[in-house]
A and B are shown apart, each in its own frame.
Chain A
């Protein structure tokens, strides 16, 4: 038993004085709560950026303490905005890199851009400018950006309601390129206002879209505009697979159909992205079992249908659509 006490005594003696007097955890409080100083000016590494060839613009600055900062890059012509935020003592390639992408639509054009750096709780702000030489390229398969009008191989159906407008427009609201699709009208007897079928054959001779076989590596993206102070639109995308490869989608017997229903309850443009494997089969808006092998096969996708819907009792509904594209990761426009 003496050994037991001796062991306890030795242990306590060894550890009792444990104090780390010369080190501390985290950032220095003295530094954190001192007055803000800009140690290195806010800069951008390129006057002109060739985004299409993989170049990035890198912003840099150095402060005397960790701060919450926001860089807002604004296209002087398009008014597109990219916002980068962080909490650090320095801005550098690890946290201040811009690849030409957009946060607030429209997307950037070849234009002069001004970047504004704001620091939380600091009155002063700092600016630098750069130019977009070429636009960012989004790798993927574009279903429709409406830049070349309607593809004659697409099928369009529009109800004969009141104030119907299912046409391609070109105005300042356009989020990508110069054109987008406007969908509007009053149909007081049916949810359907209009639809467009995008068959795979419209893009070449193949019966299916050239997509990856792995549904986890395929993302469906598009830009949708909610019109302020207008009744809710519902946009329904139907993804129709040709399971048996006979060139025809047959919902009733052997083929899968997956759906993505979007209730447009916001104002302005919004990016919609969904992984192909997350698509579900719907019947009247409720999940159901598809009629084929119930396996997501993006490489067997034969046709996409886009339906613009609205509650008939609500009256006029309107929304806009642009840049329908498949990518292998969520679109960063």
Chain B
């Protein structure tokens, strides 16, 4: 309660400060958002014996406000502090109320040349150095699923493939009148882990990019991303480092009716512990090349490329996963009479922020082969070589289509000299029917499919792998009157076949292969009605039904029904 009182006192002071200065110059702004979610849930367990141990129904929810105070004490400095006040429904008289600092940063310009930011940072570099790939995310998700998925992304600061970090970032550049257009420098350093003064040293993540722009057509960058332990910050002496050096470049031109562009990135990595065995000292390289041709008149672009990421290429900034498959779901966490852990489902993947990471990890993140076995760490997935093609069609009358196809294989076998072949084919489309029919109210239909295969013909049949994963999503959004939308969507995921999942030690070296077999069918259906007060405020009622079925009965089948009422605003 004391913290709560202090926070209110602080906020009151800031309001007074704002009022005082408002007459002269607007130096303090308030930004943020507010949200309220109420849910009513029911679990259905399809066990051979009725599950009498699990409480099947529950209601819950919370209300929260994120109040950001944006202060500009002078023309070159800006400060943002965001406080979060959250109250779980059922908490009253202060019980269940939490007050946190959600965000804090300071940025400015030194000498009109160097821009800096300290505190919380949203950082990314290139897809092979520091990048949040969201590799298991469903692309082109129907609008109805975006409502809660956007909340997960907001909660974990996922925006434009960035990772949330704490540290400092500086950048500056020079312009030239001939030869080169400009050279830009960007550097950052963040702390991944704080020392416990004995076994864990301070672990920092630093990086830099030098961007040389020759013209609008050609530019080249040097990128460095390095994670390292600071010697002497702990009594333990087994220090870690992972250094990635890359060059990326792009060249573009217009020839006739076509804009074409070729881009690529190549580099090497070094991943080692100072006292680890030699086998754990991993050095490797990667090459990525992509060509694109854009036929503007026909609203069509095609692309193709080549990818070669070595089996020992390690870049923890690019190979950390947003989904933590080892995390507890915190939502019907246990079920059945034996109170076994509930396996996560499509509901958790799309809606449950408990299984998502905010920070990157220095160990190889667990993957779920049933969701994505082809490129579980995005295009930075190690041990992949092959090519890809893609197509984008975007008609001004509201018809969009994207298609990609990857054909990859392993470079080094996993537990056998036989190599796996991978394919991934994805097709997404969206039709804005109102634009075709020249209607005022929005009518949008979305759909997409992904088909992934992993195949290995082993030296003996025991080594064979044959895994197929299929994802489908369909949805619609109909504006029945101004601001009032009807929403519908269904997503399905099925995985059939077998795979050997590598268990990797702390040095990311495989020391065991777990044989897994899948016969999973999952679906997630949602219906909703939403009223948009304006572009930043809406209220929505949603009914969602999740179904999880395991044909091998390794896990007991279940379904979850959820009704939720969501009020969301940003300001």
Using CB atoms and an 8 Å cutoff, list the residues of chain A in contact with chain B.
1, 4, 8, 11-12, 15-16, 18-30, 32-33, 66, 87, 216
Contacts and interface: CB of A to CB of B under 8 A. Distances in A.
Of A1, A25, A30, chain B has the most CB atoms within 10 Å of the CB of A25
Given A27-B511, A32-B512, A87-B512, A18 B414 contact: no
Main secondary structure of the interface of A (DSSP, over half): mixed
Interface of B: 198, 251, 262, 264, 266, 287, 289, 306, 308, 310-311, 383, 385, 409, 411-417, 419, 458-460, 462-463, 500, 502, 509-513, 515
Contact of B419 (A12, A19, A29, A30): A19
24 contacts: A4-B251, A11-B287, A16-B306, A16-B308, A16-B385, A18-B308, A20-B311, A20-B412, A23-B412, A23-B417, A24-B417, A25-B311, A25-B383, A26-B509, A27-B415, A27-B511, A28-B415, A28-B416, A29-B414, A29-B462, A29-B513, A30-B416, A30-B459, A30-B463
The 4 A-B pairs with the shortest beta carbon distances in the complex, nearest first, are A26-B510, A29-B415, A24-B413, A20-B412
Contacts of A19: 385, 409, 411, 419
B415 A26 contact: yes
A87 to B, nearest CB: 7
A33 B462 contact: yes
A25 B414 contact: yes
Given A20-B311, A30-B459, 4 more contacts: A1-B251, A12-B287, A25-B383, A29-B415
Nearest to B460: A30
B463 A8 contact: no
Contacts, number: 88
B411 A24 contact: no
Contacts of B262: 8
Nearest to A32: B513
Contacts of B311: 20, 25
Nearest to A5: B262
B266 to A, nearest CB: 7
A70 B360 CA distance: 35
Contact of B512 (A1, A16, A23, A66): A66
Contacts of A8: 262, 264, 289
A18 to B, nearest CB: 6
A4 B411 CA distance: 27
A29 B458 CA distance: 10
Nearest to B500: A29
A61 B385 CA distance: 41
A121 to B, nearest CB: 12
Main secondary structure of the interface of B (DSSP, over half): strand
A160 B460 CA distance: 78
Contacts of B509: 25-26
Nearest to A34: B462
A247 to B, nearest CB: 33
A1 B510 CA distance: 43
A28 B417 CA distance: 9
Contacts of B287: 11-12, 15
Contacts of B415: 24-30, 32
A24 B262 CA distance: 34
A27 B462 CA distance: 14
A29 B463 contact: yes
A298 B8 CA distance: 44
A26 B460 CA distance: 17
B266 A11 contact: yes
Contacts of A32: 415, 512-513
B385 A23 contact: no
Nearest to B289: A8
Contacts of B419: 19, 21
Contacts of B266: 11
Given A19-B411, A20-B311, A30 B462 contact: yes
A23 B411 CA distance: 10
Contacts of A23: 412-413, 417
Nearest to B412: A20
Of B385, B413, B417, B510, chain A has the most CB atoms within 10 Å of the CB of B413
A97 B385 CA distance: 44
Contacts of B417: 21-24
Nearest to B306: A12
A277 B443 CA distance: 66
Contacts of A20: 311, 411-413
A33 B498 CA distance: 14
Contacts of A16: 306, 308, 385
A65 to B, nearest CB: 11
Contacts of A28: 415-416
Contacts of A18: 308, 310, 385, 411
A311 to B, nearest CB: 24
Contacts of A4: 251
Of B251, B416, B460, B502, chain A has the most CB atoms within 10 Å of the CB of B416
A72 to B, nearest CB: 23
B413 A25 contact: yes
Nearest to A87: B512
Contacts of A25: 311, 383, 412-415, 502, 509-510
Contacts of B458: 29
Nearest to A31: B415
Nearest to B264: A8
A245 to B, nearest CB: 29
Nearest to B287: A15
A1 B311 CA distance: 32
A27 B458 CA distance: 15
Contact of A24 (B289, B412, B512): B412
B411 A12 contact: no
B412 to A, nearest CB: 4
A253 to B, nearest CB: 29
Of B198, B266, B308, chain A has the most CB atoms within 10 Å of the CB of B308
A27 B509 CA distance: 11
B308 to A, nearest CB: 5
B461 to A, nearest CB: 10
A30 B412 CA distance: 16
A34 B419 CA distance: 20
Nearest to B417: A24
A18 B502 CA distance: 22
A11 B412 CA distance: 20
Contacts of B515: 33
A1 B218 CA distance: 10
Of B412, B458, B463, chain A has the most CB atoms within 10 Å of the CB of B412
A185 B77 CA distance: 67
A144 B411 CA distance: 63
B197 to A, nearest CB: 8
Nearest to A17: B385
B377 to A, nearest CB: 16
A111 B411 CA distance: 56
A32 B419 CA distance: 18
B420 to A, nearest CB: 11
A87 B512 CA distance: 10
A28 B262 CA distance: 41
Contacts of A1: 251
A119 to B, nearest CB: 15
A108 B46 CA distance: 50
A190 to B, nearest CB: 31
Contacts of A27: 415, 511-513
Given A11-B287, A29-B513, A32-B512, A24 B308 contact: no
A32 to B, nearest CB: 6
A26 to B, nearest CB: 4
Contacts of A30: 415-416, 459-460, 462-463
B308 A26 contact: no
Contacts of A33: 462, 515
B512 A26 contact: yes
B462 A26 contact: no
A12 B458 CA distance: 28
A13 to B, nearest CB: 11
Contacts of B460: 30
Contacts of A22: 417
